[in-house]
Structure 1
Amino acid sequence: MKIFKKLLKIVLSLFGILLLTALILIWIDSRGTGYLKVEKEGAFANNSYLVQNVNVIPMNADTVLTGKTVYIKEGVIENISDKFTVEGVEIIKGDGKFLTPGLIDMHVHVWDEYELGLYLSNGVTAVRNLWGLPMHLRMKEAVNNAEIIAPLFFTTGPKLTGPEYIGDDNLQLRSAEEAKARVIFYKKRGYDFIKTYYGLTPEIFDAVVEQAAASQMDIIAHPSQKVSYNYHFKPQIRSVEHAEDIIQQPLNYVLDTIKLKEVVSDFSASGTTKFCPTLTVYNNIYQILTNDKILDSENLQYMNPLIRKVDSQAQFDRWQDSKRTDRAIVGSIKAQHEFHLKIIREMHEAGVPIICGTDAGIGVTVPGFSIHRELGFYKEAGLTNYEVLKTATYNASGTHAVMENMGSIEKGKIANLLLLNNNPLEDLSALKRPELVFVNGRKINRKQLNSFEEKAKNRKNLVVSGFRYAENLIREK
């Protein structure tokens, strides 16, 4: 008995030391992103401005409103009109530049606060995080309380899977009762949405949908192969993710144009579900296969170091190994990407609302920067510049009721805006380096945005990222 007590004491002491170490490292890391802090008398304190002589791209219509004045009052668009003045408000001279809604990335995986700065630097003023962990609830609270300057932050809970999908990144459901209890728990915890994933059977899936409706939580669906693809077209399911899953599931890995038309027709008939293609993350498989130095590229220096060491490396090894055993794999992946462009084209022509999502934060898909490649693929698929921009603004904001107050430049909308030197309706590359970014009316200039990138580059928070991920295993499993 004495030996047991002694061992228990040692274990508890070690646990205490580990916990203390984790808390110290987390505190140090939070100090590292102090540049995002909103101070009452310091940076980002002001959220009221008058932007004069600016060309407004409202995105609720395919038009440009020339020479307008826009009044941002306490983070909200108060007025859009011809010349007028407001006393006591800082004036920004638009000088004929272009004002657009901020971009929204509807499929990301956020691992630390440094990434929030990367999104802002690339004009992303709202994100939908689809792999929820406890740290994301803290991020959401900090954003909502205006403690940090960051994109508006929305998050699902952990991924809900069927019983056979073992892994620390999955929450396995074994019964309808367990499914309902988990949805209730995530609602209570403060997650915004539910994410369904592989392996959900009809019984379990129905229970998730039923409880999500009762709990007033929208569902984002990564298609489950245990049900038919059109099973996901339910009013509670607000978007279905990933173009590749159309090929892997209803098309059964065949680039079948006839079967695709059936899928597109079902999607269009649903009337309520949007499509989030995430073309960039799949195309990055091709980039891995054709560039054996990709892990050393400058872009990868902006990835979270834990993800770079574990997931980026694993993805690289997997696809390089595949290339060694299957010489045709490079051509196959390229052909599938090109078929994804066809999917986009046909979905768009059928009136299916497309929303922009990158799957950034995993593999070699870099937060923030990747949205410009994603939009470029939609352009390549045949959408006009207006239609492309709509996927990351107006369409995205209409996906969930909690996001309807953004996505366009209208009176009463949140002032999430980009001031651009050139017109993105003529050239999408104008979006890449916004001169000013407004989030909730708080202005960030290009110099500050550049500094956000520099702070995030080659950051040294691998261990603390591991602690944050481990917290999920204790609190959400």
Structure 2
Amino acid sequence: MKPFKILSWLFFLSFFTNSALFSQELLINHVNIITMEDDKVLEDHSIYVKDGVIMEIAPEEEISVAGIRTLDGRGMYLFPGLAEFHAHIPPPEQYGEVFQEEVLWMYLANGVLRIRSMLGHESHLALKDRVEKGEISGPRMFISGPSLNGNSVTDPDAGRQMVRDQKAAGYDHLKLHPGLDTPKFLAIADEAKKEGIFYGGHVSMDVGLVTSVTNGYRSVEHIDGYLEAMITDKSKLDPTKSGPFNMLVVGDVDKSLLPGLVKMTLDNKSYIAPTMTLFERYFGFQPAYELRQQPEMFYLPGQLVTQWFNTKTQLESSGVLAEAKVKPYLEFRQWLFLELHKAGVPMLMSSDSPQVFNVPGFSIHREIESMSKAGMSNYEILKTGSINCAQYFEEGGEWGVLKPGAAAEFVMVQKNPLEDLTTMQKPQAIMIGGKFMQRDELQLQLNLIRQKYIRQ
């Protein structure tokens, strides 16, 4: 079938104003496709999508489908939608249900088509259901349950009950926070295995990295626990002196202990959610007043940005975020991230958003920049937000890759992201849930959000 020729890409964007036109079948011709099955680009190919599934990818002359709408994607690149695997959906009582939906739009507009929400609320399950039914637009969601921590888990039996309750409620994952002692943690881990639900999170000090990972931690958030496991003198880990995340004792790390920790991580098939940008922005030495003025902050309620500003400036005023103190820790994190990656530990694209100065969707591109600066290749960076995330939930091949039979979830950009990561910051179009949304529609939603929160 010959493609329907259009005069220009701009005409393509303006002509198809209703994304619902493509809710059933779509054929895109003359597009360059990064399947993520390898690091090659299928140049000048066609992709045929029906009912939200990729039916065929082949050179144009090999696909013949009569009677469907056809687009010319000449010069454009397609890659699987990004996944943000340490995300947060705000609870409705924070800024209302509308703000929840705005957060979902911010993810979509930045090419983030899947999220793993890491602090659950019962409203998130209903939100996920509405997205899956097509009632509202948003990324596909994996929802963790409410926090299991030293306060919420009163004893081992209570921990077991929380696991059973969260599994029964329909949560996809368990999120553990600090403060758990070893008996509580082991009870949670044992019950989670019985219930068949993944769990991970922070590493409680009393439990430690080794016990966490060897007892089934699916993901270690923030690369937590590795620094502490490489400190031989545990008396150094005094929270009144060692600073946030023990960053002030980085000089006492024994790096010779890392190979053993790497082997343990690989043997237990644990993943790492590094959230590099969280530490560079929240706990970094870049001043809060600079971060407050960055463009993406204007897509959020002013009250929330002010709260972030106050949180960081309190740390700044205490002197704990002085460059001389923070820089060695950030450099250590970059080294640790790259060493784990080079050893084969699977990384999950994660930024922890919304969190202090990490805006949903936008922060993923800052995370991408951080991973690149640390030394990860462009292809491996894309893997952290696609193949690795699908494999995390044992859904490899079902999404996070472009091939026949996989979900039709992809992003269209102007340049090859294997050569230029910044092109992903401005998706020209996305496809998710059987709908094709062009840049105009995504930008309109961002403009409406920005207008709502315009500062007087």
1:95-106 paired onto structure 2 within 5 Å: 95-106=74-85
The Cα shift of 1:43 comes to 4.5
* Root mean square deviation of aligned Cα: 2.2
**1:139 to 1:237, Cα distance in 2 relative to 1, 3 A:** same
3-state SS of the aligned residue for 1:153?
Answer: strand
Counterparts of 2:378 and 2:193, CA distance in 1: 36
Partner of 2:218: 238
Partner of 2:341: 348
Counterparts of 2:416 and 2:250, CA distance in 1: 40
Q: 1:263 aligns with which of 256, 261, 264?
A: 261
Query: Which stretch of the first structure deviates more once superposed, 371-380 or 45-54?
Result: 45-54
Unaligned runs of 5+ in 2: 1-16, 91-99, 232-236, 238-248
Opposite residue 433 of structure 2, the aligned amino acid is N
1:121-136 paired onto structure 2 within 5 Å: 121-136=109-124
Partner of 1:74: 51
Partner of 2:379: 386
1:283-322 paired onto structure 2 within 5 Å: 283-285=280-282, 289-305=286-302, 307-310=304-307, 312-322=308-318
User: Could you list the per-position Cα deviations for residues 304-332 of structure 1 after superposition, in whole angstroms to 9, with x for gaps in the alignment?
Assistant: 5553343x134223222223xx5x73222
Counterparts of 2:173 and 2:28, CA distance in 1: 35
TM (normalized to structure 1)? 0.80
**1:211 to 1:277, Cα distance in 2 relative to 1, 3 A:** same
Is the CA contact (8 Å cut-off) linking 1:243 and 1:279 kept in structure 2?
no
Q: 2:38 aligns with which of 49, 53, 61?
A: 61
Query: Which stretch of the first structure deviates more once superposed, 89-98 or 70-79?
Result: 89-98
Counterparts of 2:282 and 2:328, CA distance in 1: 12
The Cα shift of 1:430 comes to 1.6
Counterparts of 1:273 and 1:287, CA distance in 2: 27
Is the CA contact (8 Å cut-off) linking 2:163 and 2:191 kept in structure 1?
yes
**Identical-pair percentage:** 28
User: Could you list the per-position Cα deviations for residues 36-79 of structure 1 after superposition, in whole angstroms to 9, with x for gaps in the alignment?
Assistant: xxxxx964363221111111111121111122111111001111
Partner of 1:218: 198
3-state SS of the aligned residue for 1:449?
Answer: helix
3-state SS of the aligned residue for 1:299?
Answer: helix
3-state SS of the aligned residue for 2:447?
Answer: helix
Q: 1:181 aligns with which of 144, 161, 178?
A: 161
Partner of 2:234: none
Is the CA contact (8 Å cut-off) linking 2:202 and 2:224 kept in structure 1?
no
Opposite residue 73 of structure 2, the aligned amino acid is G
TM (normalized to structure 2)? 0.84
User: Could you list the per-position Cα deviations for residues 248-304 of structure 1 after superposition, in whole angstroms to 9, with x for gaps in the alignment?
Assistant: 56445324222334433322332x111110001110035564343433443222235
1:428-447 paired onto structure 2 within 5 Å: 428-447=421-440
The Cα shift of 1:406 comes to 1.0
Counterparts of 1:315 and 1:299, CA distance in 2: 18
Opposite residue 205 of structure 1, the aligned amino acid is F
Partner of 1:277: 274
Is the CA contact (8 Å cut-off) linking 2:316 and 2:322 kept in structure 1?
no
The Cα shift of 1:122 comes to 0.8
User: Could you list the per-position Cα deviations for residues 162-194 of structure 1 after superposition, in whole angstroms to 9, with x for gaps in the alignment?
Assistant: 13xxxxxxxx11212111111111122221111
Is the CA contact (8 Å cut-off) linking 2:277 and 2:366 kept in structure 1?
yes
**1:134 to 1:87, Cα distance in 2 relative to 1, 3 A:** same
Opposite residue 275 of structure 1, the aligned amino acid is I
The Cα shift of 1:201 comes to 1.7
Opposite residue 309 of structure 2, the aligned amino acid is Q
The Cα shift of 1:220 comes to 2.4
**1:446 to 1:428, Cα distance in 2 relative to 1, 3 A:** same
Is the CA contact (8 Å cut-off) linking 2:31 and 2:44 kept in structure 1?
yes
Partner of 1:450: 443
3-state SS of the aligned residue for 1:198?
Answer: coil
Unaligned runs of 5+ in 1: 1-40, 164-171, 462-477
Opposite residue 321 of structure 1, the aligned amino acid is S
Whether 1:209 and 2:196 are equivalent positions in the alignment is: no
How many residues end up aligned between the 2 structures? 408
Is the CA contact (8 Å cut-off) linking 1:161 and 1:197 kept in structure 2?
yes
Counterparts of 1:282 and 1:305, CA distance in 2: 22
Opposite residue 298 of structure 1, the aligned amino acid is P
Is the CA contact (8 Å cut-off) linking 1:307 and 1:363 kept in structure 2?
no
Counterparts of 1:460 and 1:420, CA distance in 2: 28
Counterparts of 2:226 and 2:214, CA distance in 1: 17
Is the CA contact (8 Å cut-off) linking 1:244 and 1:340 kept in structure 2?
no
The Cα shift of 1:373 comes to 1.3
Is the CA contact (8 Å cut-off) linking 2:103 and 2:360 kept in structure 1?
yes
Counterparts of 1:243 and 1:329, CA distance in 2: 22
Counterparts of 2:344 and 2:449, CA distance in 1: 39
**1:297 to 1:98, Cα distance in 2 relative to 1, 3 A:** closer
Counterparts of 1:217 and 1:150, CA distance in 2: 24
Is the CA contact (8 Å cut-off) linking 2:189 and 2:215 kept in structure 1?
no
Is the CA contact (8 Å cut-off) linking 1:289 and 1:320 kept in structure 2?
no
Partner of 1:247: 227
Is the CA contact (8 Å cut-off) linking 1:107 and 1:127 kept in structure 2?
yes
Is the CA contact (8 Å cut-off) linking 2:214 and 2:264 kept in structure 1?
no
Is the CA contact (8 Å cut-off) linking 2:288 and 2:313 kept in structure 1?
no
Counterparts of 1:182 and 1:100, CA distance in 2: 39
Opposite residue 325 of structure 2, the aligned amino acid is S
Opposite residue 141 of structure 1, the aligned amino acid is D
The Cα shift of 1:234 comes to 4.3
Counterparts of 1:224 and 1:250, CA distance in 2: 15
Partner of 2:243: none
Q: 2:410 aligns with which of 395, 399, 417?
A: 417
Partner of 2:359: 366
Counterparts of 1:421 and 1:289, CA distance in 2: 31
Opposite residue 213 of structure 1, the aligned amino acid is K
Is the CA contact (8 Å cut-off) linking 1:122 and 1:432 kept in structure 2?
yes
**1:141 to 1:403, Cα distance in 2 relative to 1, 3 A:** farther
Is the CA contact (8 Å cut-off) linking 1:286 and 1:334 kept in structure 2?
no
